[in-house]
Structure 1
């Protein structure tokens, strides 16, 4: 059987949610769909905090090699921060940084 020449199989973009409650250790969730990740993080926060305490989360987009080539992104940039949210006693503060990149040392 011959291999088809041309495009390689598409690797889906990976979205990472990093969150913590009351200044504790940070935990990670990885999903290929940013909307489902966002909903899941909000549900985790509502169940865990219940209107008291504080927590924060950060949603990051990790670039694939194909995206790096298309967008002409240098190799030392791993991804981009899409959203930073903080919850304090049931009140949300959301920040959307403009082109905040995650760099590899």
Structure 2
């Protein structure tokens, strides 16, 4: 049980849960209030706030630095402030699962 949402509390995404593991936390879905199909890329709150720093796709390409910091390495969650940095994996390590979604896209431009 639980696999189809019957046991998922509303605050945890019931009756629909969308998991997008390769996105930053700031880009992950928080709630679904409506679904709109469009033929144009919509503006997002992060794009509006600072499009130069927060691209629409934000797929974590470690070869492209954020305007204010490198994305080449990261500290793993739970390691603490002084933990050693490790190389950032393309698409946060989900490349095999999601690379096809970015087929033909310039991942240097659409980081």
Do they fold alike, i.e. is TM over 0.5? no
- Structure with higher Rg: it is 1
TM-score, normalization by structure 1: 0.23
TM-score, normalization by structure 2: 0.23
